[in-house]
Amino acid sequence: MKQDNIINLVRKNIKSLKPYQSARRIGGKGDVFLNANESPVPVFFSIKNKKWNRYPEGQPKNLIAAYSAFVNIHSNNILVTRGADEGIELLIKAFCEPGKDIIICCPPTYDMYHITADIAGVEIKKIPTKKNTWQLDLLNIKLNLKQVKLIYICNPNNPTGTIISKKDIIDLLDITLGKSLIIVDEAYIEFSLENSMVNDLKNHKNLVILRTLSKAFSLAGIRCGFLLANKDVIDILHKVISPYPISIPVSDIAYQALQKKSLIAMNNRVLEINANRIWFSNQLKIFSCVEKIFDSSANYILVKFHMCEKLFTELWNSGIILRNQNQKIYLQNCIRISIGTRTECVRVISEIKKFCLQKNILV
Ligand SMILES: *Cc1c(COP(=O)(O)O)cnc(C)c1O
């Protein structure tokens, strides 16, 4: 064994860890990036506060007040985080004893639940959704609740776009009260706000909701999210969050994004993306290489293709970067496509059309 071998110092679970395949890590030399469900159009803010010699407030009061007004939830029930991803991590830090407690997630879903648990050395049980409907397999979840502290549910689910049955979530909240927290990740909820569970917070002490400014708010670059929960949960999380997670420029921009004019603009972007999604999926329907288009309530759609890998690579080479979901449970031959501007949608459609025509001629 070499004496200077740093690798030997690494924790065992980190050595074997496969890190999250973030959009920036995957790369690609594209000009149409539809692989991270970002907003295709930037929003512009200038930073008002220009003095940065002092540490920021740990939990900026004016920002929390602004989000409180937006969701109509008391400030005591809100924690500002460095993106929703930090919320996922803080809950595990505060509630899960490594080697003892267990987390449940329901694939196909967002990868960061199991990756964050893996990093923390906390066991994660994957209880796949029901095939075809992608709804929770409640029966199976109920059989596996022993020692489970956290259950992560993504709604609308990434990457399927599915709305998870509210009745099922409420059922789960009821039977796990006092034993587990149910975390509903609402990263995309602005695209289908009527499905939010914000109004259920007051009746369910074990409900936690994750929100972000990264998607509908068009601010993935600033890293800002919110965790909504009953006050006991928030107070516990105050103990484990880093002292200054939100920098002054971030809270400055986030605050402006939550003012009336910005909220109206956000709503208009949501309407436009939702209209684009419908247009896009109608266009896709006619192609021979499209096997199935799944209903989505978010700013992306999941599509099953014939010759999925070939199509993915061909589009990649033409500068259109999508997200291949082929490796995930139930998602063989599926690609997730973020909804871009109409121009971007048109471009994707024309490349897919080109591909289908070529292949039909060749077959
Ligand atoms: C994008 C995404 C997040 C991450 O949000 P950030 O606020 O950017 O950390 C969380 N959950 C889901 C389901 C997402 O798709």
For helices 231-240 and 84-95, the axis angle rounded to 10 degrees is 90
Euclidean distance between the first and the last CA atom of the chain, given in angstroms as a whole number: 55
Closest atom, ligand 1, to C-alpha of 157: 13
Ligand 1 and 113: CB distance under 6 A: no
| Cα-to-centroid distance, 153 and ligand 1 (Å) | 13
Give the pLDDT confidence score for residue 1 in this predicted structure.
Answer: 59
Instruction: Using most ligand atoms within 8 A of CB, pick from 82, 89, 110, 219 the residue to mutate for ligand 1.
Output: 110
Strands 32-33 and 320-321: parallel
Which residue ranges in the chain fall short of pLDDT 50?
363
Q: Which long-range contacts (CB under 8 A, 24 or more apart) does 307-310 make?
A: 307/359, 308/332, 308/333, 308/334, 308/335, 310/355, 310/359
Give me the count of residues in the chain.
363
Q: Which of 122, 240, 113 is nearest to 184 (CA)?
A: 113
The residue behind tokens 């978010």 is 298
pLDDT score of 48: 87
Ligand 1 pocket test, candidate residues 38, 112, 299, most atoms within 8 A of CB: 112
Q: CB of 129 closer than 6 A to ligand 1?
A: no
Give the pLDDT of residue 363. Answer: 43
pLDDT on residue 361: 54
